[in-house]
Chains A and B, each alone.
Chain A
Amino acid sequence: MEFLLQPLTLLTFFPLVGVLVILFMNSESKNAIRWVAMSTTLITFGLSLWVLTLFTASNPDLQLEAKYSWIQVAGWDIQYYLAVDGLSILLVLLTGLLTPISILSTWTAIEDRVKDFMIFFLLLEVGMMGVFLAQDLFLFYIFWEFTLVPMYFLIGLWGGPRRIYAAVKFFLYTMAGSILMLLAIIWLGNYGKTFSLPELIAQGGIPANIQMWLFIAFAAAFAIKVPMFPLHSWLPDAHVEAPTAGSVILAGVLLKMGTYGFLRFNIPLFPEATVQAAPWIALLATIGIIYGAAVSYAQADVKKLVAYSSVSHLGFVMLGLFALNAQGVAGAILQMVNHGLSTGALFLLIGMVYEQTHTRELKVYGGLWKIMPVFGSIMLISALSSMGLPGLNGFVGEFTILLGAFGSKAIGSPWYAGVSALGVIMAAVYILYMFQKMFLGPAGEITKEHELKDLNWREILTVAPLLILMFWIGLYPAPFFNLIAPAVEKLLIGY
């Protein structure tokens, strides 16, 4: 019982309660199922806020530990070990927030097999929470792989026309990277006789040449998930085919698992390899920023445009992480949240108009702001947040990242940040292009074919929390930085 009542255990596994309830429900009573799923995720979000109240911001260490011996075999000690610190608390909250929002967005969008959908969604939440909370490599790996399964079905069952292709591709890409990580995890467990991350970090002393191999093995898994250029080819497929809620979670949380992995494992476990790799990662990140932005601009499908913009945005996050200074890393963590908010909002909004028009071709849109003023304004704010307008959240993240990367000793040259700053211009180019083609200009074809309605209250409610956070982080990010900063300082002690 004591095991179950740990705050983090509760937080991670609470969605299973909802799964259990839904399993016993009639699959025809769709609304009831939706409500159960909604309230489960809302309670989970409440639990994550509760965890926040229990969390001590000034403490840089892992907190609220739930630690039990789990499997002992061959001298290895595998633990059930959940804990949270400044590096992960925001991502836990983000997961808690985005899941109910996504479920709310499916209210009318998902009509068939609601029961299965909600079950998968709740399972997905368990996996995501677990990934951000697990401090045992073995446990982490289990959660990491576990997220794949529900997402695979979410894309594969409720996706667009090429959903099977996309789902399989998503699954295989992630799997391919994970295998290498698994090997590295086994090596580490064998080496340190434990899978506990804090213990492994404390032991240290992994020879430099082996560090590099392990770094690469972990990086393979994470870089695919991020996705870093040039491993991004699964992303547009997955995003375009996934249902709206899937895209939101995919962009908002699943991609963050990659960057979080770098932060949680690569940087503290392999310090020497990290320093060696930093310029190369920065190079790839810079290419990703520019490349993603350029490719976004040429897209005809608005969802694909946003998908490619993720490549660019997460390039910023990677650049910040490997700047290895306080500004860069803290900015990167905040930017993970920012990207979840703004890209999440963009996907939600695109989903809302898609529900009415069933097309995402930019060229058939136009002049929507006149017909749907509320929708247009909300979209504008989200778009501006995505392109990093000061006063909104995106800027705080991008600015601190670029500032950090510009003077980073690890990266070693201001050129990376300098070139990446060009991405700021290019972000304006593709975001404004998207906004113009959809909302400005003369009324497009689509307005003649459909009687478009402005957002209803449910839809406004869906994006409202994201908008509030955009302004909050943009104008007064201090509470967020206060959560992050101590852990970041601790992380960077060795660098």
Chain B
Amino acid sequence: MHLSETIISLAPWLVFAPLTGLLINLIFGRRLSEKAVGTVASLASGAAFVVSVLLAYAVSINHGEVMRWRLAEWIHIGTLNLDWTFRIDSLSTTMMLVVSGVGTLIHIYAIGYMHEDVRFKHDEGRYTRFFIFLNLFIAAMMILVSGDSYMMLFVGWEGVGLSSFLLIGFWFEMDTLGRPSWANSDAAKKAFIANRIGDFGFLIAAFLMFWGFGSLQFDQVFAGASSLSAINSPLTVAITLFLLLGVAGKSAQIPLYVWLPDAMAGPTPVSALIHAATMVTAGVYLVARSAPIYATAPAAQYLVAMTGAITALFAATIAVGQYDIKKVLAYSTVSQLGFMVAAVGMGAYTAGMFHLITHAFFKALLFLSAGSVILGLERGHHHAPSSPTLPPKGEGSHRPLSPRERARVREHHEIFDPGDMRNMGGLRKTMPVTFWLYIVGTLALTGIFPFAGFWSKDEILLDASLHFTGIYWLLTIAAFFTAFYMGRQIWMVFFGESRSEAAAHAEESPKVMTLPLVVLAILSAVGGGLNLPFEGFHNLGHWLSYTLGEVESLPLDLTVAGVSTLLALTAIFVSWLLYGRTPLQAGQIDPLKRLGLVFTGMENKWFVDEGYFAVIINPFKKISQFLADVIDWRFWHDFVHDTLIVGTYNWLSTIALDHYADQKGIDAFANWLGTATQWISENVRKIQNGFVRSYALAVMLGVVLILGYLIFK
């Protein structure tokens, strides 16, 4: 007990360690060499991994008891009590291990990758920035998985969204091909906003929890939820469905998945770490974490599972029609996330988490290998005879390029896409290590025995076959497509003849990149051992049952396993028929074009982006433009204020008051007095003719009148 308490006090270092790395690089980054920057960042992430291991150990010696470490008060107001409290249990430590473990490997890989990437993109100063963002991501992700309340989870939830935004938009001034463009920054913005839509759901769910259960702390919310006697009570259904919106945003499920494929604009380590292995699984973690609430709302569970299953199939079909090596993997990720969400939706939390872990291994492996392929092509491109030579690697490559060289390189860049599989082919000869790593990742993803994906996917399928037949079929078909598009990718990238100069001259990546890949490959190969479907080998299930309660541990079902393996092999065979038997030639169109409209749909992602543009984004732009221009400015500002209010006032003051009341009323009367006096005197003055005698006559007449009056009165 004493030991575990000492360990638990390390919990804040899950966050502080990466933050320290971030700060060191932020403050001293300019003075440190690239190696030092990368090492600091990797060590920071590694430290978080060590802490995670220790915490997992503490959980195990405590037999899974939940441990908490309160760091500080956060928001205390009224009945709302939120703290910075770390929650250490088997579920959170599992996530910590995955995040910091895979994260550290990717940090190391990135040391090599970014070294070249910043040079191909001609901005070496940005190297440090990358690792700052990467550490920020680890810190945020750690907050996400270690929080003890929904709000602390939310802090991490948005924090990873921010890191994702920063890293997708890392090359913010260009598109994926390095041309000056808004494309990358658009992708970053899209990701953030799509995530925010999910966050909106999360927030509403949090409000409902608070006013329904009086707290946002996990255990208190769960206690509140389970104290509701009714199954599917409106409150829990509402909470779970709003959470589902959050899940859809973060874990790229229908309808919010659209940001993830675009997120491939980020450098490849980012795609591997954030958009495949860790961040996008946060939604799965959220559902698993909220298991006690979902348990009281089977209707919502079914919806979650259905969302996952449909996404799995839908994204898999799109992956078939993609040409970009990373886009295929991106849709594959969406699809695999669908598997996980379906699993946790069905209540198969162990299966979901299991797949989350194995997927983190093999998808990170695939992405990083894809990154290696892309860099290999870049290298080949710069070495190809027709292209301007980049200074050789090593010492010389630190020499800054002259402006003219830059211009030439940039020009050259505009015509070549190193991520397009149509530019590849035959890479197994030029990049053998990457090739074999890629094969391992593919086998794991397609679920070939005995690779990790086989076990985890099988467990999901088995669970689905027992409880939800519809979902089982959706997932099985998705698995078929998975094997097909991976097969297609393998044949297109590594087999046949080189379809471009660059592919012919491609070069293998350095050790700093391939070594982490080897580790991931080993994990992808044997990761299934975490939870074998045999009595006594349900290690993960047992471990998670500390947190999630007793979880069903299913034995191996040979029918399910057999069907899925058979389908996978069939799919690979079909892909060989199409792409392997007669390799694509340069400029040849895709053989699947024969499918016509269906393939056009797949190729164009079923026009979902276009649909969103037409239905949501453009109307929103128009509405806001309308509100701003017409309603606010022309109507409210110009018309109501400048015309109505000012106009009325002016009318009142100039026309009504000044002109009518003042000028025509008061002024006119005063003037009339004047003119009247004038008129009278005009006439009266005629009497005064200057002749004394007429005055005298007047006097006399007066006298006569007065006398007459006196006499005759």
Contact = CB atoms under 8 A, between A and B. Distances in A.
B73 A432 contact: no
Interface in A405-459: 406-407, 414, 417-418, 421-422, 424-425, 428-429, 432-433, 436, 439-443
A447 to B, nearest CB: 11
Contacts of A327: 77-78, 80
Interface string B589-625: 0000000000000000000000000000000110111
B159 A294 contact: no
B207 A406 contact: yes
Interface in B126-177: 129, 151, 154-155, 157-159, 162, 165, 169, 172-174
Contact of A390 (B155, B172, B185, B627): B155
A303 B267 CA distance: 33
A367 interface: yes
A204 interface: no
Interface residues of A, number: 60
B197 interface: yes
A429 B193 contact: yes
A389 interface: yes
Given A391-B159, A403-B210, A417-B207, A330 B78 contact: yes
B398 interface: no
Interface centre among B129, B204, B208, B629 (most CB of A within 10 A): B204
A233 B80 contact: no
B181 interface: yes
A432 B77 contact: no
Nearest to A173: B641
B701 interface: no
Contacts of A208: none
Interface stretch (A59-67, A97-105, A216-224, A474-482): A474-482
B279 to A, nearest CB: 15
B200 A390 contact: no
Contacts of B74: 475-478
Interface stretch (B365-373, B467-475, B632-640, B657-665): B632-640
Interface in A264-321: 291, 294-295, 297-299, 308
A400 B196 CA distance: 18
B193 A298 contact: no
Interface string B8-45: 00000000000000000000000000000000000000
Interface in A368-417: 369-370, 373, 384, 389-391, 395-396, 399-400, 402-404, 406-407, 414, 417
A236 B193 CA distance: 26
B625 A485 contact: no
Contacts of B193: 425, 428-429, 432
B162 A396 contact: no
Contact of B172 (A440, A477, A488): A440
Interface string A153-169: 00000000000000001
A330 B79 CA distance: 12
Nearest to A427: B196
B331 interface: no
A424 B199 contact: yes
Contacts of B206: 403
Contact of B72 (A391, A476, A488): A476
A440 B188 contact: yes
B203 A294 contact: no
Question: Binding site of A, secondary structure by majority: helix, strand, loop or mixed?
Answer: helix
Contacts of B632: 233, 291, 295, 308
A326 interface: yes
Contacts of B481: none
A224 B78 CA distance: 30
A294 B78 contact: no
B228 interface: no
Size bin of chain B's contact surface: 35 or more
Contact of B203 (A391, A399, A484): A399
B618 to A, nearest CB: 13
B75 A477 contact: yes
Given A291-B627, A298-B628, A389-B162, A478 B73 contact: yes
Nearest to A476: B72
A465 interface: no
B663 to A, nearest CB: 25
B75 A481 contact: yes
A403 B212 CA distance: 12
A476 B84 CA distance: 9
B210 A298 contact: no
A400 B80 contact: yes
Interface centre among A414, A422, A424, A436 (most CB of B within 10 A): A436
A63 B321 CA distance: 71
A425 B72 CA distance: 29
A298 B627 contact: yes
A331 B637 CA distance: 31
A367 B76 CA distance: 41
Contacts of B624: 294-295, 297-298
B180 interface: yes
B679 interface: no
Interface string B185-209: 1101100110011011001101110
A16 to B, nearest CB: 36
A384 B162 contact: yes
Contacts of B637: 233, 236-237
Contacts of A234: 641
B639 to A, nearest CB: 10
Contacts of B172: 367, 369-370, 436, 439-441
A484 B76 CA distance: 11
B77 A331 contact: yes
6 contacts: A294-B624, A330-B77, A367-B172, A407-B207, A432-B193, A475-B74
Given A325-B78, A436-B188, A436-B189, 7 more contacts: A233-B640, A294-B624, A295-B632, A402-B203, A425-B193, A428-B196, A440-B182
Interface of B: 72-80, 123, 129, 151, 154-155, 157-159, 162, 165, 169, 172-174, 180-182, 184-186, 188-189, 192-193, 196-197, 199-200, 203-204, 206-208, 210-211, 620-621, 623-625, 627-629, 631-632, 636-637, 640-641
Interface of A: 169, 230, 233-234, 236-237, 291, 294-295, 297-299, 308, 325-327, 330-331, 367, 369-370, 373, 384, 389-391, 395-396, 399-400, 402-404, 406-407, 414, 417-418, 421-422, 424-425, 428-429, 432-433, 436, 439-443, 475-478, 481, 484-485, 488
